[in-house]
Amino acid sequence: MKKQEKQHKKDSKNSLILAPRGASEINKLNLGCGRDIKEGYINLDIAKIEGVDVVHDIEKGHLPFKDDFFEEVYICHTLEHLGNFTEIMKELYRVCKKDAIIKIKSPYFASMTAFGSPTHKCFFSLGSFDYFLPNNYNKHIIGEPKFLILKKKLKFTRKDWIINRPIEWFVNSIRWAYERFFPFIIPMQEIYFELRVLK
């Protein structure tokens, strides 16, 4: 994101909103951005890295933004580091507008990268976000957040290996059977979800 003078606003709940001065408020969030700074997004990370707009520890359980603000949230390899996953989903639900889109990338539970980092606390399979569907039987545990799952995809991160492309296509064509019987035989590296916020 180009360096721009930032305008800080606070709502009645002491929530912080950032917007470039002289422009409309940015309503896209890059959560846990690290060094992947995206223009047109509020880039939030725990580390004070060049380009980060908001320095905040997500595990504190509160996102520093007002209710019903974001139209899109991008989360790349962040949720697996959190021990309060369900609480963060509640916060995402709170700060997102109705029909907002949330795009999530995370290591697939069967990949080496999932268990290869001592900082990973949460692991993701195809059914991980089914708990947040409106009619899920666990809604009495999860509570309010409700999302529609638009996409689920298992991916290789190395696109330059030509053989990965047909394998990736085949695995996704039978993904439920794959996850039940073969995840550790041909371990995919990444799982992608796209959610829509229901309010």
Question: pLDDT tens digit string along 168-197?
Answer: 999 999 999 999 999 999 999 999 999 999
CA dihedral 68, 128, 112, 162 (to 10 degrees): -80
Find the mean pLDDT for residues 161-166: 88
Radius of gyration of the chain (CA): 18
As a whole number of angstroms, the distance between CA 61 and CA 161 comes to 39
Q: Which residues contact 121 (CB under 8 A, 6 or more apart)?
A: 80, 81, 82, 83
Fold of 6-197: Rossmann fold (3.40.50)
Look up the pTM and report it: 0.84
As a whole number of angstroms, the distance between CA 139 and CA 131 comes to 7
As a whole number of angstroms, the distance between CA 128 and CA 139 comes to 13
Contact 119, 34 (CB under 8 A): no
As a whole number of angstroms, the distance between CA 109 and CA 114 comes to 6
Tens-place pLDDT, residues 48-83: 999 999 999 998 878 999 999 999 999 999 999 999
Q: Which residues contact 86 (CB under 8 A, 6 or more apart)?
A: 142
Q: Residue 22 has what pLDDT?
A: 35
Task: Characterize 62-75 residue by residue with b for buried, 16 or more Cβ atoms within 10 angstroms of its Cβ, and e for exposed.
Answer: bbbbbeebbebbbb
As a whole number of angstroms, the distance between CA 102 and CA 147 comes to 9
Tens-place pLDDT, residues 5-64: 343 343 334 455 554 443 357 899 999 999 999 999 999 999 999 999 999 999 887 899
Tens-place pLDDT, residues 124-151: 999 999 989 988 766 666 667 789 999 9
